[in-house]
Amino acid sequence: MFRALWSASSGMSAQQSNMDTIANNLANVNTSGYKKTSMEFQDLLYANLQQPGRVSGFGTALPVGMQVGVGVRAAAIRTDFTPGNLVQTGNPLDMAIATDAFFQVELPNGTVAYTRDGTFKLDSQGRLVTTDGYRLSINGTGDNPLVFRDIKDINISANGSIVMPKESNVQAEIYVPDSAAKFSENPAGFYKLTAGAMTTWEKGEPPNDVPPKDRYFKVEMPDGSEAYVKENNFNVDAEGNLVTIGLIADADGKMVPAKVSAGTLPTLGQDVALVQVNDKGNFVVVQEVGKTELRRFVNPAGLEKQGKNLYLASVASGAALNVDDNKDHIATGFLETSNVQAAEEMVKMITAQRAYELNSKAITTSDEMLGIANNLKR
């Protein structure tokens, strides 16, 4: 009976730890990027009253033994890293990771930490930081952190590339059709003038006088003829020429872009992602200025929790590994919700409560049995 008291006591202690874990899950049901945890139990050592397979007095081997357990213990708290749901926020600074990766952030003491919480903000210096001011690690910026002047300047692609628009002083050649203009159009969006004339939009005219639907850009077709496009986004080819995103078949049937008649092109680097034209008629070069550092782990359940939605690498988790750059990892304007299921946690809580109650009953019953034995008289 003394053994039963201690076994039941260990059961109550283990279920109390289980309840602590469940309560923490429920408390973080609305925490962005939170990963639920679950308690794992192990039975304790056994008192061997009779060894299995022992030879009896009749020369036979006993098929079973007599081993009395002495209780249970909380062995581990496992973190479940299954993805949470993605909720659209519309905030360009919010990011959700759709894979098993983590954002890398830099703590004030120089330590590198990791998080699934994508609620980033701009600090007073224009740097991307967490809610607690920890700087998001961005590749390609060296020792100088990337600084943004405005939220509107931030554009983060699905693979983590950060691109920023930079307005140039170069005027694009924009054409406006007169009232008699007529066009022939092919499926790729290239227009050829068949009647009327095109006039050049002069710099300095109010942009609203020329609505976007009436703005055309002159291009050189593969056969050397002239055409016009309405698209406002352009690429840069290997020779630095401004070309259309849309493709047209050349004489060999190969699909190629058309060259844009742009006057003097702006100075373009190798990291140009896109070239646009703003309402003032100037070229805006969208360039990659960095890339969010995403990391993954062989055993993310082995990460050490630090609070504030942060994790540290440990011997159990393994070293941080690079992610596949060709894979889409990030959804901008979304947040990952907690993967806690409230109904599931409520069922676990009821189960833990009943287990705790049953163990307390075992203690009460053992005490009553001891009382009966203590009150025996001759």
Strand-pairing partners, residue 144, are: none
Backbone angles phi, psi at 187, to 5 degrees: -60, -20
The predicted structure's pLDDT at residue 276: 83
What are the tokens at 79?
A: 């973190």
For the entire predicted model, the pTM comes to 0.72
Report how far residue 233's alpha carbon sits from residue 217's, in angstroms, rounded to the nearest whole number. Answer: 11
The predicted structure's pLDDT at residue 267: 62
Predicted confidence (pLDDT) at residue 105 exceeds the cutoff of 90? yes
Predicted confidence (pLDDT) at residue 187 exceeds the cutoff of 60? yes
Percent over 70 (pLDDT), the chain: 89
Mean pLDDT of 265-282: 71
The predicted structure's pLDDT at residue 274: 80
Q: Would you give the end-to-end CA distance of the chain in angstroms?
A: 22
The predicted structure's pLDDT at residue 203: 57
The predicted structure's pLDDT at residue 186: 77
The predicted structure's pLDDT at residue 194: 87
Mean pLDDT of 78-86: 93
Predicted confidence (pLDDT) at residue 91 exceeds the cutoff of 80? yes
Q: What's the chain's Rg over C-alpha atoms?
A: 34
* Residues 45, 70 contacting (CB under 8 angstroms): yes
Class of residue 154 by CB neighbours under 10 A (exposed 0-12, middle 13-18, buried 19+) = buried
The predicted structure's pLDDT at residue 209: 62
The predicted structure's pLDDT at residue 251: 80
Identify which of 373, 368, 356 has the alpha carbon closest to the alpha carbon of residue 9. 356
- pLDDT category of residue 374 using cuts at 50, 70 and 90: confident
Report domain extents, the chain.
2-80+339-374, 86-160+290-334, 173-261
Instruction: Tell me how far CA of residue 200 lies from CA of 29, 142, 173, 259, 362, in angstroms.
Output: 59, 44, 7, 18, 92
Predicted confidence (pLDDT) at residue 1 exceeds the cutoff of 70? no
Q: Per residue in 23-45, pLDDT tens?
A: 999 999 999 999 999 999 998 88
3-state DSSP assignment of residue 24? helix
Low-confidence winner among 126-135, 253-262, 303-312 (lowest mean pLDDT): 253-262
Class of residue 373 by CB neighbours under 10 A (exposed 0-12, middle 13-18, buried 19+) = exposed
Identify which of 8, 6, 40, 7 has the alpha carbon closest to the alpha carbon of residue 21. 40
Report the mean per-residue pLDDT for the chain.
84
Q: Which amino acid is at 278?
A: N
Tell me which range, 208-217, 285-294, 309-318, is most confidently predicted by mean pLDDT.
309-318
Give the list of residues 6+ apart from residue 332 with CB closer than 8 angstroms, or none.
92, 94, 95, 155, 156, 157, 158
* Residues 76, 301 contacting (CB under 8 angstroms): no
Mean pLDDT of 150-154: 71
Three-state secondary structure along 42-67? Answer: EECCEEEEECCCCECCCCCECCCCEE
More confident residue, 79 or 126: 79
What count of residues does the chain have? 378
Q: Per residue in 297-329, pLDDT tens?
A: 999 999 999 999 999 999 999 999 988 877 788
- pLDDT category of residue 210 using cuts at 50, 70 and 90: low
The predicted structure's pLDDT at residue 212: 66
Torsion 352-355-360-363 (CA) sign: negative
Mean pLDDT of 105-114: 92
Predicted confidence (pLDDT) at residue 272 exceeds the cutoff of 80? no
